[in-house]
Structure 1
Amino acid sequence: MAGVRNIPEIMHRTLFRTVSLLGRGQSVVLGRYFDWWHRTPDPWKLATDEYEHYKYRTTLEQLPDRPYRSILDVGCSEGVFTCMLAENYPEARVTGLDISARALERARARGRHLADRLSFARADLLIPTHNDTYDLVFCAETLYYLGREERLRLAAARLGGLLAPGGLLVAVHPWPEARRLHGHLDSAPGMSKISEHVDEGTHRPFAVSIYQAES
């Protein structure tokens, strides 16, 4: 039965490996794809699903206890976790990035009460238009959309380039698929893995891997 349950995710991954053959055209396709998904609010129930909130709490529990002045959430969708970050770190400037304009409209509405230190921008991780650096960067449930290994290698380099000296990157993806998705992060120059938490006690196991940039 486990194999049967995994068929939709296998088909999902195959689709995005095919889309990645488009090169720069991948950005256009992904933008339209996620705008279509967001034709109705919160299509993945990120605001209400207990599993998602458990994953958010577990992720935050893995972070070193230190001040964070600037935080980036890559692939923020409608900003559920991004707003949680802004609420948990009131001293930080928090930014959410996503490829879907429609998702970002709802993210801005959700975070309106935090607008003095919370912002959102449309961007593609693989196209270097966003060049600020951050103390803390999150990339969750995003890398499998990139497809081929060369795209994952490019993403690892881009994520590393978003870190300020000594900054942390937190990657959160399904386990054991995270072994492959995080593989290029493991070998990326300029940063090293400092911890990994694998949670296999849920219906959809996940890994939280944390990397630190060189100071």
Structure 2
Amino acid sequence: MQPTKSQSLTTDFFEDLYRENPDPWQFATSEYEAQKYATTLNALPRDRYESAFEIGGSIGIFTERLANRCDSLLSVDVSSIAQEQAKQRCQHLNHIDFQIMSVPDEFPDDYFDLIVLSEVGYYWCWDDFYKAQNLLVDRLNPQGHLAIVHWIVDARVLPLTGDEVHDSFLQLVPDQLTHLHSLTTDKYRLDLFEKP
């Protein structure tokens, strides 16, 4: 099923992708992804976080690196196929909790010092995006950090663009979030926020 602008991408869409290719975005081999992961980790203001939440952990490449900066990490994904790979990759790290979860319809009850939304926001339609955005801000602890990173090259089949996702979070400044850092490359955009 092809995505539409008015609907979020479904679990079946992602399961089909991973069924056809265990690493459809070349997370394990892409120089672009490796550089983006390093840049994202370098942008985080703290060396260590007590509790972190990663939305869309996929096959666990970034999850494994992020876990080295966290006392506890909840990594969620809609794809059980992808998450099985992540569990295998991260089996030596017992402080990661893996869960199948379809944000924003499902969301953890916990509060977090760090939330990472990377390459996920543009898969939601506007209604789901706003619902997720409100939950993310609500479940971020005071002085907690929100890191968002998205591909900004035009992808016409996705409900939203990377720029729309980032611009929408910037609209929450200064009332709900403080903007700490911004980086725009020719392929992706990174913004870091803190909750007052």
Give the structure-2-normalised TM-score.
Answer: 0.86
In the other structure, the counterpart of 1:145 is: 123
Deviation beyond 4 Å, 4+ runs, structure 1? none
Aligned residues: 185
In the other structure, the counterpart of 1:157 is: 134
In the other structure, the counterpart of 1:3 is: none
In the other structure, the counterpart of 2:84 is: 105
Structure with the larger helix share:
1
In the other structure, the counterpart of 2:7 is: 19
Q: Does the residue aligned with 1:73 lie in a helix, a strand or coil?
A: strand
Give the structure-1-normalised TM-score.
Answer: 0.79
The correspondence for 1:182, drawn from 141, 144, 166, is: 166
Shift of 1:129: 3.5
Q: Does the residue aligned with 2:164 lie in a helix, a strand or coil?
A: helix
In the other structure, the counterpart of 1:118 is: 96
In the other structure, the counterpart of 1:206 is: 188
Q: Does 1:45 align with 2:22?
A: no
Shift of 1:198: 1.2
Structure 1: gaps of 5 or more residues: 1-11, 21-25
Most deviating of 37-46 and 184-193 = 184-193
Most deviating of 184-193 and 102-111 = 184-193
Q: Percent identity?
A: 28
Structure 2: gaps of 5 or more residues: 154-160
Q: Does the residue aligned with 2:5 lie in a helix, a strand or coil?
A: helix
Shift of 1:53: 0.4
Q: 8 Å contact 1:166–1:212 — kept in the other structure? A: yes
